[in-house]
Amino acid sequence: MKMKKMGILNIVLLFATINVALSVQDGLLPNGNFEQGPKASQMKGTKVTDPHAIPHWEISGYVEYIRSGQTQGDMLLPVPEGAFAVRLGEDASIKTRVTNVTSGSFYSLSFNFARTCAQEEKLNVSVSPNTEPNDWGMLPMQTMYSSDGWDSYSWGFLAQANEIEITLHNPAVEKDPACGPLIDFIALKALKNPHRQRGNMLKNGNFEEGPYIFPNTSWGVLIPPNIEDDHSPLPGWMIESLKAVKYIDAEHFTVPEGKRAIELVAGRESAIAQIVRTQKGKVYDLMFSVGDASNSCQGSMLIEAFAGKITLRVPYESAGKGGFKRAKLRFTAVTERTRVRFLSTYYHMKNDHSGSLCGPVVDDMRLVGVRHP
Ligand SMILES: *[C@@H]1O[C@H](CO)[C@@H](O)[C@H](O)[C@H]1NC(C)=O
Ligand SMILES: *[C@@H]1O[C@H](CO)[C@@H](O)[C@H](O)[C@H]1NC(C)=O
Ligand SMILES: *[C@@H]1O[C@H](CO)[C@@H](O)[C@H](O)[C@H]1NC(C)=O
């Protein structure tokens, strides 16, 4: 009995150590909030003129250093936290070196951005060294999802060295140099390999593992579209179709279970999916929670859950005040691999006059084999 207890204690301690080792580097990159800035002599107006003027960063092209409260035309440029942010003009980039990642580990990068023009803005996020073709992300920043003017994006990658360089580049589709996103708060998080928990065939079914969410921001983190599972900032899951999904935290939203959940913010244009090994002819239950994030997202919602070709539509009446219900899809597997998939049938908009998109929340997904159907 005593021996057994010791064993358990050791395992607990071991996990505690691993968590500490992983979490040390979770958080802001050095000067990732740009609070250390250029000297007056390294700027012309707001434009930074020296490529090494911002500590820990190397810039190129038209980069502006923006102080909180600064205006452009008659528009106030919002800076979410602290006093400063950078703006990447046409063809501008910022680059930083991270010296203590682990080669072969997965990471997710999160950053805050605000659009400054009506045009579609994009950001090319890349990490070097990397040997994989096309291993960069073109993140679309066309839609507003938060009411604050700021959103956060995440991007997943595999570190291929212990020392890497991270670049954010505005390839500029627009021709106005005053356009281009404001960027602030760039953070890194080591992602744990998703594993299946007992009694659940899905990996990361409760979404507890995912990108870094800034503790001081209240708008969650977007996970960009077209993400394959091996590079997903949401371990175990793919983001299909054209638009992002939102990763939300219990500190700022209502989530059905644990500390994290997914808000389906883009109607049928975004879906999350996972492929599971199944046994042909066997019966399974896919169970999940559908709710709302308590973020003024009201209305009649409908979630579609798919298991292979079987569909379940789950209506949810949202008062925008939080709450959830459980749903169950029973299906017989017809192949050795079954794709489970979730999307929101409709678009929804917050009723706070911000015009920002929102949607139903899904969480706590379980897939189990049914022994005596
Ligand atoms: C990684 O390096 C940064 C500074 O470059 C430091 O702030 C951070 O604590 C380091 N993390 C680890 C795990 O050594
Ligand atoms: C994005 O950046 C990477 C790395 O610099 C580059 O190889 C790639 O061509 C860029 N993609 C686009 C569409 O500009
Ligand atoms: C978050 O806000 C608190 C209180 O305003 C502040 O002390 C803390 O430094 C902030 N954290 C970050 C990462 O900026």
Q: Any idea which residue has 């919602």 for tokens?
A: 301
* Cα-based distances in Å from 96 to 29, 152, 312, 320: 9, 19, 46, 40
CA of 53 to the centre of ligand 1 (A): 21
CATH match of 27-190 with 2.60.120.260: yes
Which residue from 17, 25, 107 has its CB within 8 A of the most atoms of ligand 1, so it is best to mutate? Answer: 25
pLDDT tens for residues 201-242? Answer: 999 999 999 999 998 888 999 998 877 666 889 999 999 878
- Give the model's pLDDT for residue 52: 97
* Domain at 197-212+236-369: CATH code: 2.60.120.260
Which residue, judged by its Cα, is nearest atom 6 of ligand 3?
Answer: 216
In the chain, what are the domain boundaries? 27-190, 197-212+236-369
Task: Write b or e for each residue in 134-149: b if 16 or more Cβ atoms lie within 10 A of its Cβ, otherwise e.
Answer: eebbebbbebbbbbeb
- First-to-final CA distance of the chain: 39
Query: Quick one: pLDDT at residue 180?
Result: 85
Q: Which two tokens stand for residue 179?
A: 């356009």
Best mutation site among 136, 160, 166, 170 for ligand 2, i.e. most ligand atoms within 8 A of its Cβ?
136
- The CB density around residue 353, as the number of other CB atoms within 10 Å, is 9
Report the SS3 class of residue 50. Answer: coil
Q: What is the DSSP string of 324-338?
A: EEEEEEEEE--SSEE
Q: Are 237 and 306 in contact (CB under 8 A)?
A: no
Distance 220 CA to ligand 2 centre (A): 27
Give Cβ neighbours of residue 140 (< 8 Å, ≥ 6 apart): 120, 122, 224, 225
Give Cα 25 distance to the centre of its chain: 18
pLDDT attached to residue 83: 83
According to DSSP, the residues that pair with 96 across neighbouring strands are 166
Cis ω for the linkage preceding 373 (within 30 of 0): no
The ligand placed nearest to the CA atom of residue 125 is 2
33 alpha carbon, closest ligand: 3
Q: Which two tokens stand for residue 275?
A: 């492929």
Q: 138: CA distance to ligand 2 center in Å?
A: 8
User: Cβ–Cβ contacts within 10 Å for residue 40, how many?
Assistant: 6
105 C-beta closer than 6 A to ligand 1: no
pLDDT at 362: 98
Q: Which atom of ligand 3 is nearest to the CA of 81?
A: 14
Centre of ligand 1 from the C-alpha of residue 192, in Å: 18
Q: What confidence score (pLDDT) does residue 4 get? A: 41
Q: What is the pLDDT along the chain (373 residues), one digit of tens a residue?
A: 334 444 444 444 444 444 444 434 689 999 999 999 999 999 999 999 999 999 999 999 999 999 887 776 666 666 666 689 999 988 899 999 999 899 999 999 999 988 877 777 889 999 999 887 767 888 888 677 777 778 899 999 999 999 999 999 998 766 676 778 889 999 999 998 887 888 999 999 999 999 999 988 889 999 988 776 668 899 999 998 788 999 999 999 999 999 999 999 999 998 999 999 999 999 999 999 999 999 999 999 999 999 999 999 999 999 999 999 999 999 999 999 999 999 999 999 999 888 889 999 999 999 999 998 8
Ligand 3: atom nearest CA of 33 is 14
Q: Which residue has the tokens 């291993």?
A: 135
Q: How far apart are the CA of 124 and the centre of ligand 2, in A?
A: 6
Nearest to 244 by CA among 234, 259, 258: 234
Q: Which residues pair with 339 in a beta bridge?
A: 275
Pocket test for ligand 2, best of 88, 123, 124 (most atoms within 8 A of CB): 124
Nearest to 86 by CA among 64, 68, 71: 64
- SS3 per residue for 152-188: EEEEEEECCCCCEEEEEECCCCCCCCCCCCEEEEEEE
Query: What separation in angstroms does the CA of 110 have from each of 97, 245, 257, 308?
Result: 16, 14, 23, 32
